Amino acid sequence: MLSFFTLALFAAPAVHAAGPSFFLRDATTASPNTTTNATIDMVSASWYAGWHAQDFPLSNVSWDKYTHLTYSFASTVPSVNNVSLDASDAELLPQFVSMAHQNGVKALVSTGGWGGSQYFSTDVNSPANRSTFVKTITSFAQQFQLDGIDFDWEYPGTQGIGCNNVSPNDTSNFLAFLQELRADPVGKNLIVTAATPLVPWKDASGVSLTNVSAFADVLDWIAIMNYDVWGSWSTSVGPNSPLNDTCAPAADQQGSAVSAVKAWTAAGIPSHQIVLGVASYGHSFHVTPEDAIECDDDNSALATYPSFDAAEQPLGDKWDALTNTDQCGQTSGPSGVFDFFGLIDAGFLFPNGSVAEGIDYRFDECSQTAYVYNETSEVMVSFDDAKAFAAKGDFIKSNNLRGFAVWEAGGDSDDILLDSIRSAAGFEDDDNESTSAAPSPTHVSSGSNSGSGSSSGSSNNAGDTPKNSPAPAPAPTQASSGSSGSDNGSSGNSNTDSGDAPIAPAPAPSSANSGNRIAQTSAHAASMFTPIATSPVAVSPSAVPTDVSAPPTASAPAASPTSTDDGDGW
């Protein structure tokens, strides 16, 4: 989750009217549940990265444009009795919840993430552990007066960061845990969501499930993480967050919003229980002019899948770092991630989100995503601009999806992206006069917007596993959690029941799920890789009474919790 976005001269007043509309009749009618968005509350959401609070304080959040905000992250730890927050998060989270409630916004916390999912498997691997973990989660929700919990397990039954505990029974155990959580007097009143990859979770044999309808009974919605589909770990430049890829060459069909929604609805999740995860950031690549520009007799255009120099990873925006160490202790170079605001800071875009002078631009009509290129620095960035966000908003509205969730709130600039997707998806803003202008090219020919050369019309099999596997060594694997990664996740945890024997950590799978978000990308989380001097704080089932039927609603700022509740360290 992250952020990015020609002069007003190129302004297009109705961005959402441009481009094709992707209506998935087969996918959205696959579910027997025929509820429409007219009868449910739409979701306008974002994840708030606590480690970026200094640059993007809570006072900068456009609370009136959100229905839900999710604080990231609480992490799993070796003990099933606790989840972990950095001490700085423990101080900021009560303020986050208070401000959300004062503005009529539901406040959630995301548990896990790329760097905080090491112990999910052992937390749910036995009846005893599941019962304890239910108490841990409900106590955590009560202590911080949360409206809900987002489970961002990356990934059940599949290795993520590289040192996670993994069991072939992860998905079935996860379902059993969620069912027990919903039977709890506190848990039944929580908003419970899950961030997911582009394809349904794995079964015990390692194959994507074809029936996940039982999850629809216990989750309010899933948020499909449709980003990090292409990045520095890929074999070529490609769209970070493709809306569609059925029109791309077969080898370039790595997954998209279209294929993901088809896969999840076909497996039993109704469309109105699907929130589309969208990215306010992009990935950069070092590309020579010879590879970056496609030329014919009459036109030149940016290539959409050019080769790049993997040995020369560009440094991203101010949230990137030259070196990063993840929770497994692995060190990598810069992520090359540019948030939308970072593209403005770096001179790729003007402050209004249009393309800056001297920058090449292409809007790929197949993936409905944008590319910019600086010939001087030889840096190309694949990202979503206002036009791309509008296309995703149209897709949400046309296919009866529940809404959207942006990674991350702080990545945008002046709500250029947020306003665009809200307008196209059908959200009404009293003070939003118009959608932000779509960027236009400066010196790339008009043919560059045609998308020619990037698509073949080959069909996409819904549910095909994305192939964007990051190489364990050179590909960045920056973490997204505030906990340290000192434990290798393979043994020695202090959970109360052995349950399923964890599988030894393995290298990233050859068909990795997309949506690693900070996974391979976020040098942004550099501040999270080095634990702060103060001890993390912990919550345990004994910390909060469990006879409350629902989490209380905050009417005033809550006092910051201390780290002395039971000495367990969060």
* Residues 433-457: tens digit of each pLDDT: 433 334 444 334 333 333 333 333 3
Return the minimum-mean-pLDDT range out of 69-78, 172-181, 224-233, 476-485: 476-485
Q: Quote the tokens at residue 308.
A: 């790049």
Helix H segments across 69-212?
87-102, 120-123, 127-143, 170-183
Q: Burial level of 7, CB count in 10 A (0-12/13-18/19+)? A: middle
Quickly state the pLDDT bin for 31 (edges 50, 70, 90): very low
How far is CA 429 from each of CA 45, 47, 422, 544, rounded to the nearest angstrom?
15, 20, 8, 39
Indicate if the pLDDT at residue 487 is higher than 60.
Answer: no
CA angle 22, 25, 31 (to 5 degrees): 125
Q: What is the DSSP string of 254-272?
A: ---HHHHHHHHHHTT--GG
Return the minimum-mean-pLDDT range out of 306-315, 375-384, 428-437, 525-534: 525-534
Average pLDDT taken over every residue of the chain: 78
Quickly state the pLDDT bin for 298 (edges 50, 70, 90): confident
For residue 480, the model assigns a pLDDT of 34
Question: Do the strands 191-196 and 221-225 form a parallel or antiparallel pair, or are they unpaired?
Answer: parallel
Contact 174, 196 (CB under 8 A): no
Please list, in sequence order, all residues whose beta carbon lies within 8 angstroms of the beta carbon of residue 122, skipping any fewer than 6 positions away: 80, 129, 165, 493, 495, 499, 502
Contact 386, 437 (CB under 8 A): yes
- Which among 98, 91, 32, 96 has a CA at the least distance from the CA of 554? 98
Indicate if the pLDDT at residue 530 is higher than 70.
Answer: no
For residue 523, the model assigns a pLDDT of 30
For residue 39, the model assigns a pLDDT of 59
CA 314, CA 508: separation in Å to the nearest integer? 23
Indicate if the pLDDT at residue 394 is higher than 50.
Answer: yes
- Per-residue pLDDT tens over the stretch 75-125: 999 999 999 999 999 999 999 999 999 999 999 999 999 999 999 999 999
Predicted structure pTM score: 0.76
Contact 92, 50 (CB under 8 A): yes
In the chain, the amino acid numbered 414 is D
Look at the domain 8-543 and name its fold.
TIM Barrel (3.20.20)
- Per-residue pLDDT tens over the stretch 187-218: 999 999 999 999 999 999 999 999 999 999 99
Contact 44, 65 (CB under 8 A): yes
Indicate if the pLDDT at residue 6 is higher than 50.
Answer: no
Q: Quote the tokens at residue 345.
A: 């800071």
Indicate if the pLDDT at residue 552 is higher than 90.
Answer: no
Return the minimum-mean-pLDDT range out of 9-23, 151-165, 471-485: 471-485
Contact 437, 353 (CB under 8 A): yes
Question: 268-282, 289-303, 422-436, 491-505 — which one is most confidently predicted on average?
Answer: 268-282
* Strands of 27-169, DSSP E: 43-49, 68-76, 83-85, 106-112, 148-152
Which residue, chain included where needed, has tokens 């112990």?
A: 119
Q: Where are the domains of the chain?
A: 8-543
For residue 297, the model assigns a pLDDT of 73
Burial 36-57 (b: 16+ CB within 10 A, else e): ebeeeebbbbbbbbbbbbeebe
Task: Count helices and strands (H / E) in the chain.
Answer: 13, 19
Quickly state the pLDDT bin for 40 (edges 50, 70, 90): confident
Which residue, chain included where needed, has tokens 């549940």?
A: 33
- Which among 160, 113, 206, 129 has a CA at the least distance from the CA of 489? 160
For residue 550, the model assigns a pLDDT of 37
Percent of residues in the chain assigned helix, strand, coil, to nearest 5:
25, 15, 55
Distance of CA 201 to the CA centre of its chain: 16
- Give the CA dihedral 162, 168, 174, 176, nearest 10 degrees: -160
